[in-house]
Chain A
């Protein structure tokens, strides 16, 4: 076996903010010479859509910095989620933070292997035609085949 370091990530979340850690760490590790695999399961599958529809919500997230205090009941009003999402996106753009699409593209370019959890694809009846090309489908045993040999294993 080679002495290449390995990073295994499980991506379980499907919101705009939580889309970042797997793709930032995956692309950076690949740039440092790691072999990287990301296993997408449950809501993490949203990160594999060709057309990403990721949003961010202040609801149930008291840690989200807000420009002004907004009572929880107001946060629940229709439209609040898309307002927060566009605010977050424009803030990220103005600070030079890459888009999720860009980071995902950099991961693919760097041969980060992406595996979609077959069980949750079936459970939520995802149409795999909506997923990006070049991904694989597998289960828990597939994940462990790589994760068991990994130097770093993260659950996000």
Chain B
């Protein structure tokens, strides 16, 4: 997973800030564009899954790399 239109670094931020920042960032995207999010809050794994399910934006991938959680979310059309 490498293609994205915007990146949001939410490292060091705790619940609910990563979700709130992501929501704001998605608001600036066009439908179909992809937001990459980097977070360090372990709770964000479940939270981004729940966020995607409830908002209809698609969670393309959710991975962990060396203590960082990387999410790719596609804005719904």
Contacts and interface: CB of A to CB of B under 8 A. Distances in A.
Interface stretch (B1-9, B10-18, B28-36, B63-71): B10-18
Contacts, number: 32
Nearest to A94: B12
B7 to A, nearest CB: 18
Interface in A75-105: 95-98, 103
A25 to B, nearest CB: 8
A98 B19 contact: no
B77 interface: no
Interface residues of B, number: 14
Contacts of A24: 15-16
Interface string B53-65: 0110000000000
A28 B20 contact: yes
Nearest to A5: B54
Interface in A114-137: none
Nearest to B50: A32
B16 A31 contact: yes
Interface string A1-36: 000000000000000000000001001100111000
A106 interface: yes
A32 B54 contact: yes
B35 to A, nearest CB: 14
Nearest to A34: B54
Given A32-B51, A33-B54, A96 B14 contact: yes
B19 A28 contact: yes
B14 A31 contact: no
Contacts of B55: 31-33
Given A31-B20, A96-B12, 17 more contacts: A24-B15, A24-B16, A28-B16, A28-B20, A32-B51, A32-B54, A32-B55, A95-B14, A96-B13, A96-B17, A96-B40, A96-B41, A98-B13, A98-B14, A98-B17, A103-B16, A106-B20
Closest 10 CB pairs of A and B: A31-B23, A96-B14, A28-B16, A96-B12, A32-B54, A96-B13, A97-B14, A98-B17, A24-B16, A31-B20
